[in-house]
Structure 1
Amino acid sequence: MNLDLGSLRSVIAAAEHGSFRQAAAALNLKQSALSRRVRHLEDQVGVSLFERSSGGVRLTPAGASMAQAARRLFEEIDDMIKASQLADRGEAGVFKVGFGTAVSASKVRSVLADHIRSFPEVAMQVTERSPAQLITALGSGDVDIAIMVGEARQHSGPSMSLWSERIVAALSSRHPLSNSEVIDWSDLKDETFLLSQWDPGLDLRNLILRKLAAPGDTPRIETWDASNEKVLGMVEAGLHVSVHFESWTSLAYTGVRFREIRDASGPSHITFSACWEEQNRNPALARFLDTLRQTHHPTTLT
C-alpha cells in the first residue's frame, strides 16, 4: 500500500483545525481537493478517520491513531533531511582518523577533541598505527586522513604541514647537563643516544645525524624495539640520553630532565603532517581539512 504524504498532511491539518475548510486554506488547497485526499486515504485503509458534521470534523479513534503516527513520521522525515544536509556539509557522518604512536602525546589530541566538540554529529573513529601502515590504510580507505611526524614522504597524494614541536633532550637528573636550561647539540656529541624503533625513531635518528655526524665521526645511537615510555624509563636509570618532542615533557618521570637543544641556528623542530587521498569525497574529511587550514596552520608550540 502506497500512502500519499500529502494525504497524511491533510489529516494532520484537519485534525488541528477541526475543519476541512480551514485546513485547506492552511495548506493552500481547495477544500474539495483536501476532502478527496482524506476520502481516498480512508478508502485505502478501510476505516473512517473523521466524524463529519455541520460544525466541522473530529478524529475518530482510528483517525487519532493515524494522525499521531503521521506526526512521528514527519518528524523522522525532518530528522532524515537534516541529517543528510549535515552529512553533505561534513557536520555528520563517519570520519576515520589515523595517527602514529608518536603523535598520541602531541597537539593532535586537542585538535581531535576540538573538532568533536564543534561537530558532535560526526562519529569519529581513531586508529593508531605505524606510518607505513597509515599510508596503506589511506589507500584502502580504512582511514580518511593520517597525521604523522615529519613530511609525508611515503605518500604520493596531497598533504599539509601542520604545527611543529621543539626537540628536547631527555637526561637523567644525575647527568651533569641536566643542570643547564638549554643544551647545545655539540654538548651531546660524546653521548650514546637511545631511541625507540617505533615512530618517530627514524625521524629523530636522522635529526641527530644531521646535527652531529661529521666525516669519520658518527654519533652513537642505539635503537630498541621498545616504546618511547620504556626509553624514558632507561634514561631515568642513567644509562643513556635521548631526544623527544616537547609534548613528551608532560609525562611524569621524576628522574628525567627535559632540556631544549639548540645550535647556531636556534632550537630544533620537527613538523607534523596530515595526508589524505585526492579521490576521497567524504564531506567530513573536507570539513576537517578546513578546520586544520583555519586553526592549525604551521606554528611552533610555545
Structure 2
Amino acid sequence: MNLDLSSLRSVIAAAEHGSFRQAATALNIKQSALSRRIRHLEGQLGVSLFERSSGGVRLTPAGTSMAQASRRLFGEIDEMVRASQLADRGETGVLKAGFGTAISASKVRSILAEHIKAFPEITIQVTERSRGQLVASLGTGDVDVAIVAGDARQHGGLTMSLWSERIVVALSSRHPLSNSEVIDWSDLKDETILLSQWDPGSDLRNLVLRKLAAPGGGPKIETWDASNENVLGMVEAGLHVSVHCESWTSVAYPGVRFREIRDASGPSHITFTACWEEHNRNPALTRFLETLRHTHHPTLLG
C-alpha cells in the first residue's frame, strides 16, 4: 500500500486544529482538497479516521493511532534529512585519521580537541603507525588523512605543511650538560646518541649525521626498535643522550632534562605535514582540512 505523505500531513493538521477548514488554511490548500486526501486515505485503510460534525472533526481511535504514527514518521524523516545534510557538509560521519607520532606528545592532541568540540557528531577513528604504513593506508582508503613528522616525499598525493618544532636533546639530570640552558651541537660530538626507529627517527638520524659530520668519522648513534617513551626511559636511567621534537618536553620524565640544540645557524627544526589523497571525497575529511587550515594557515582562508 502506497500512502501519500500529503494525506498524512492533512491528518495531523486536522487533528491539531479540530477543523478541516482551519487545517486547510494552515497547509495553504483548499478545504475540498484536504477532505479528498483524508477520504482517499480512509478508503485505502478501510477505517474512519475522523468523527465529523457541524462543530468540527475529532479523531477516532484509528485516527489517533494514525496521527501518532504519522508524527513519528515525519520526525524520522526530518532526522533523516538533517543527518544527510550534516553528512554532506562534513558535520557528521567518520574520519579515519592516522598519526606517525604519539598524540599525547604533540600538537595533534589540541587539533583533535578543537575539531571534536566544533563537530561533536563526527566520529574520529585514530590509528598510530609508521610513516610508510600511513602512506600505504592513504592509498587503500584505510586512512583519510595522515599527519607525519619530517619528510613526506613518500606520499604522492596532496600535502599541507602544518607546524615546525625545535629539536631538543634529552639528557639524564645527572649529565654535566644538563646544567646548560642551550647546548651546541658540537657539545654532543663525543656522546652516544640513542634514537628510536619509530617516526621521526630516520629524520632525526639524518639531522644528527649532518650536524655532527666530521672528517674521518661521524657521530656515535644507536638506533633501537623501541618507542620514544622507552628511549627516554633509558635516558632517564643514565644511558646515553637522545634527540627529540620539542613536543616531548610536555611529557614528565623526572630524571630527564630537555635542552634546545643549536649551532651558528640557530636552532634546528622538523616540520609536521598532513597528507591525503586528492580523490578522497569524504566530507568529514574536508571539514578536518578546514580545521587544519584555520589553525595553521589562517591567511589562506579569505
TM range (shorter): over 0.9
Counterpart of 1:70 in structure 2 is 70
Counterpart of 2:156 in structure 1 is 156
Asked if residue 267 in structure 1 is aligned to residue 267 in structure 2, the reply is yes
Cα separation, 2, equivalents of 1:140 and 1:148: 18
Cα separation, 1, equivalents of 2:276 and 2:172: 39
Cα separation, 2, equivalents of 1:250 and 1:145: 25
Counterpart of 1:244 in structure 2 is 244
Counterpart of 1:203 in structure 2 is 203
Counterpart of 1:233 in structure 2 is 233
Runs of 5+ unmatched residues, structure 2: none
Q: Any idea what the Cα deviations from partners look like across 1:168-215, whole Å, max 9, x if unmatched? A: 100011111000001011111111100111111111101111211133
TM-superposed CA distance for 1:103, in Å, is 5.2
User: Quick one: which amino acid aligns to residue 164 of structure 1?
Assistant: S
TM-superposed CA distance for 1:87, in Å, is 1.0
Cα separation, 1, equivalents of 2:279 and 2:86: 21
Cα separation, 2, equivalents of 1:264 and 1:184: 9
Cα separation, 2, equivalents of 1:225 and 1:235: 15
Cα separation, 2, equivalents of 1:19 and 1:69: 20
User: Quick one: which amino acid aligns to residue 5 of structure 1?
Assistant: L
TM-superposed CA distance for 1:102, in Å, is 4.3
Cα separation, 2, equivalents of 1:154 and 1:215: 31
User: Quick one: which amino acid aligns to residue 283 of structure 1?
Assistant: P
TM-superposed CA distance for 1:98, in Å, is 0.6
Moved more, 22-31 or 9-18: 22-31
TM-score (norm 1): 0.96
Trace 1:159-238 onto structure 2 (pairs within 5 A): 159-238=159-238
* Partner-residue secondary structure (3-state), 1:101: coil
Q: 2:165 touches 2:270 (CA, 8 Å); kept in 1?
A: yes
TM-superposed CA distance for 1:158, in Å, is 0.5
Q: 1:195 touches 1:221 (CA, 8 Å); kept in 2?
A: yes
TM-superposed CA distance for 1:124, in Å, is 1.0
Trace 1:274-293 onto structure 2 (pairs within 5 A): 274-293=274-293
Cα separation, 2, equivalents of 1:20 and 1:279: 54
Moved more, 97-106 or 193-202: 97-106
TM-superposed CA distance for 1:252, in Å, is 2.1
Counterpart of 1:139 in structure 2 is 139
Cα separation, 2, equivalents of 1:139 and 1:14: 56
Q: 2:101 touches 2:149 (CA, 8 Å); kept in 1?
A: no
Counterpart of 1:297 in structure 2 is 297
Cα separation, 2, equivalents of 1:113 and 1:179: 35
Cα separation, 2, equivalents of 1:248 and 1:166: 11
Counterpart of 1:38 in structure 2 is 38
Cα separation, 1, equivalents of 2:274 and 2:31: 61
User: Quick one: which amino acid aligns to residue 225 of structure 1?
Assistant: D
Counterpart of 1:57 in structure 2 is 57
Q: 2:100 touches 2:199 (CA, 8 Å); kept in 1?
A: yes
TM-superposed CA distance for 1:260, in Å, is 0.7
| Paired residue total | 298
Q: Any idea what the Cα deviations from partners look like across 1:120-146, whole Å, max 9, x if unmatched? A: 111111111111110111011111100
Q: Any idea what the Cα deviations from partners look like across 1:140-167, whole Å, max 9, x if unmatched? A: 1111100111131100010000011111
Q: 1:151 touches 1:161 (CA, 8 Å); kept in 2?
A: no
User: Quick one: which amino acid aligns to residue 17 of structure 1?
Assistant: H
Q: Any idea what the Cα deviations from partners look like across 1:256-297, whole Å, max 9, x if unmatched? A: 111011111111111100000000001111111111111123
Cα separation, 2, equivalents of 1:92 and 1:278: 20
Cα separation, 1, equivalents of 2:200 and 2:41: 67
Q: Percent identity?
A: 83
Where has structure 1 moved over 6 Å in runs of 4 or more? none
Cα separation, 2, equivalents of 1:292 and 1:151: 19
Cα separation, 1, equivalents of 2:139 and 2:16: 55
* Partner-residue secondary structure (3-state), 2:171: strand
* Partner-residue secondary structure (3-state), 2:80: helix
User: Quick one: which amino acid aligns to residue 30 of structure 1?
Assistant: K
Q: 1:103 touches 1:148 (CA, 8 Å); kept in 2?
A: no
Q: Any idea what the Cα deviations from partners look like across 1:66-94, whole Å, max 9, x if unmatched? A: 11111111111111111111111111111
TM-superposed CA distance for 1:225, in Å, is 1.3
Cα separation, 2, equivalents of 1:253 and 1:19: 75
Cα separation, 1, equivalents of 2:85 and 2:72: 20
